[in-house]
Copies of this chain bind each other. A is one copy, B any other.
Amino acid sequence: MWVADVIESGKNRGSRQRLTVRKVVILAAGRGSRLRERKNELKPMRRVLGLPLLERVVLSCKVAGLSDFIVVTGYKPKPMRSFLTRLARKRSVRIEVVENPDWEKGNGTSLLACRGKLTEPFVLVMGDHLFEPGLLAGLLRVGSEDDSCFLAIDRRTERVFDLRGATKVSTQSGRIRAIGKDLTRYDGIDTGIFLLTPAIFAPLARVQAKGRYELSDGIAELAAEGRMRTYDIGKRFWLDVDTPRSLREAKRRLAEQVDKPSEDGFIARYLNRPLSIRLSRLLAHTPVTPNTITVVSFAIALLGAWLFTRQGYLPVLFAGVLIQVSSIIDGCDGEIARLKALGSRFGAFFDTILDRYADLSIAAGVTYGFWLTHPEFWVWLAGIGALSGFLLASYSKKEYQLRFQKPSPSRFLPRLAKRDLRLFVIFLGAVVGQPFFAMLGVGLISHLAVFWILVRGRRR
């Protein structure tokens, strides 16, 4: 029974995916004339928030577990080939380039050009269709239970970005009945993401012999035989980027994807994050790395900490503004890392440690500044109390996670002890001229949060 379970689950867990689906075909032969061409920048190289469109497609496939590509080129094959060679090296993937001289006839010819190279099921995607990795991973899972051909379709027909230009499909019990741009009755949209077997090539060749060169002509032929199934992508993200308007939409949607509402505190969610994402969208176009942003945010916090030790309202106000600015910029390192796939475990580690040193410096600066006008020992003890609250609130969350192997619950009190609120309250305190007492307040809340986390640990 137990051994049988293992075999069974071994099959379900994607024997097809692991054993047979290895290759991804990317069609990138077209001219992309609706997107204004920049000097020497072909459409697949067109940058969206700092990364070429085609690189984003390759990355989504890689995250979904596939890293062996065939890219079909047509328009200006030479610069494409050198771009693809660099891309393969940069992202550690295999890319075979197939040149399709007939690319202008229609994109069906580009797939047919790969005929001899594919003997197993494969994934087919478009070089200009962005999608989230989970979409492809889901398709591979479903495909692993069935040997059919699949088209990933979007049922949210009314919400599709460019409905006029989209390929529509009409389905019945999970199979495609009709497909085309001009269908009047349809219940899904072709996302351009396919799981195919070499069975596609015969019908494709057949329709091309009759002068129909689009990919959807071949798909329609296979569908007519009842052999084309559908995969419902649910609410997952995809976008066909082929006009300046859809390029803008892509930037907006990608920026949304890097949001982390579940982990963010209140201030991060409603104030810092909206601002930092705007900043990240600008920074994405520059070569600035996440670690550089981490260091800059830290330096600004240190400057703020030093300014708190100056006398007078203006320096203190400016100090408050600086630490709030630092808090906002502190979101950008992670966002840039996610936007440009530059994330590293060291980067996250480095950011966390510098955050603690920044908190510590700010607390020391605020305390020293207050002590200058109130030279009494309790000021220092209270400052130490607040400072240790900041460090221990962070510490006890990590410790909880290590001991219980799950994150400490993100409830009201621990959220109040997060860094976003901590710095924001000190900033507000600086605005009203009382950063010290504002700091004591959040310090106290931080110790309460530690106590709350302890009690939670006791209950487990």
**A173-181, A332-340, A450-458: which one contacts chain B?**
A450-458
If A388-B391, A395-B398 are given as contacts, then 16 extra A-B residue pairs at C-beta distance below 8 Å, sorted by A number, are A3-B7, A346-B458, A349-B457, A350-B454, A350-B457, A352-B399, A352-B403, A356-B392, A360-B388, A360-B392, A368-B377, A384-B384, A394-B395, A398-B398, A398-B399, A402-B402
Sample of 19 A–B contacts (CB below 8 Å): A3-B15, A6-B6, A6-B7, A345-B404, A345-B460, A346-B457, A353-B392, A353-B399, A360-B384, A364-B381, A364-B384, A367-B384, A368-B377, A368-B381, A371-B377, A383-B384, A387-B387, A394-B395, A395-B398
Could you tell me the distance between the alpha carbons of A371 and B378 in the complex, rounded to whole angstroms? 12
Determine if A18 and B6 form an interchain contact, defined as CB atoms under 8 angstroms apart.
no
Could you tell me the distance between the alpha carbons of A403 and B343 in the complex, rounded to whole angstroms? 12
Flag whether A75 is at the interface (Cβ < 8 A). no
The count of identical subunits is 2
Determine if A349 and B2 form an interchain contact, defined as CB atoms under 8 angstroms apart.
no
Give chain B nearest CB distance to A248 CB in angstroms.
Answer: 36
Q: List residues of chain B with CB within 8 A of the CB of A2.
A: 10, 15, 18-19
Give chain B nearest CB distance to A7 CB in angstroms.
Answer: 6
Give chain B nearest CB distance to A326 CB in angstroms.
Answer: 18
Q: List residues of chain B with CB within 8 A of the CB of A318.
A: none
User: Which residue from chain B places its CB closest to the CB of A398 in the assembled complex?
Assistant: B398
Flag whether A270 is at the interface (Cβ < 8 A). no
Flag whether A401 is at the interface (Cβ < 8 A). yes
Give chain B nearest CB distance to A329 CB in angstroms.
Answer: 20
Give chain B nearest CB distance to A371 CB in angstroms.
Answer: 7
Pick the contact of A357: B1, B18, B392 (CB < 8 A): B392
Within 8 A of B (CB), among A98-124: none
* Most chain B CB within a 10 A radius of its CB, from A346, A367, A404, A460: A346
Within 8 A of B (CB), among A349-394: 349-350, 352-353, 356-357, 360, 364, 367-368, 371, 377, 380-381, 383-384, 387-388, 391-392, 394
Could you tell me the distance between the alpha carbons of A388 and B383 in the complex, rounded to whole angstroms? 12
Pick the contact of A403: B1, B19, B348, B356 (CB < 8 A): B348
* Most chain B CB within a 10 A radius of its CB, from A346, A349, A404: A349
Interface size band for A:
35 or more
Flag whether A396 is at the interface (Cβ < 8 A). yes
Determine if A353 and B396 form an interchain contact, defined as CB atoms under 8 angstroms apart.
yes
User: Which residue from chain B places its CB closest to the CB of A454 in the assembled complex?
Assistant: B353
Flag whether A186 is at the interface (Cβ < 8 A). no
Flag whether A400 is at the interface (Cβ < 8 A). yes
Could you tell me the distance between the alpha carbons of A402 and B348 in the complex, rounded to whole angstroms? 11
Pick the contact of A353: B10, B349, B380, B450 (CB < 8 A): B450
User: Which residue from chain B places its CB closest to the CB of A357 in the assembled complex?
Assistant: B392
Determine if A399 and B15 form an interchain contact, defined as CB atoms under 8 angstroms apart.
no
Determine if B403 and A395 form an interchain contact, defined as CB atoms under 8 angstroms apart.
no
Flag whether A285 is at the interface (Cβ < 8 A). no
Could you tell me the distance between the alpha carbons of A350 and B453 in the complex, rounded to whole angstroms? 10
Q: List residues of chain B with CB within 8 A of the CB of A371.
A: 377, 380
Flag whether A11 is at the interface (Cβ < 8 A). yes
Could you tell me the distance between the alpha carbons of A377 and B348 in the complex, rounded to whole angstroms? 35
Determine if A403 and B368 form an interchain contact, defined as CB atoms under 8 angstroms apart.
no
Within 8 A of B (CB), among A393-430: 394-396, 398-404
Could you tell me the distance between the alpha carbons of A2 and B1 in the complex, rounded to whole angstroms? 20
Q: List residues of chain B with CB within 8 A of the CB of A402.
A: 398, 401-402
Within 8 A of B (CB), among A302-360: 345-346, 348-350, 352-353, 356-357, 360
User: Which residue from chain B places its CB closest to the CB of A18 in the assembled complex?
Assistant: B2
Give chain B nearest CB distance to A274 CB in angstroms.
Answer: 27
Could you tell me the distance between the alpha carbons of A19 and B2 in the complex, rounded to whole angstroms? 8
Q: List residues of chain B with CB within 8 A of the CB of A7.
A: 3, 6-7, 10
Give chain B nearest CB distance to A378 CB in angstroms.
Answer: 10
Q: List residues of chain B with CB within 8 A of the CB of A360.
A: 384, 388, 392
Determine if A400 and B349 form an interchain contact, defined as CB atoms under 8 angstroms apart.
yes
Give chain B nearest CB distance to A142 CB in angstroms.
Answer: 19
Given contacts A2-B15, A3-B15, contact A395 B356 (CB under 8 A): yes
Determine if A384 and B381 form an interchain contact, defined as CB atoms under 8 angstroms apart.
no
User: Which residue from chain B places its CB closest to the CB of A381 in the assembled complex?
Assistant: B364
Q: List residues of chain B with CB within 8 A of the CB of A11.
A: 3
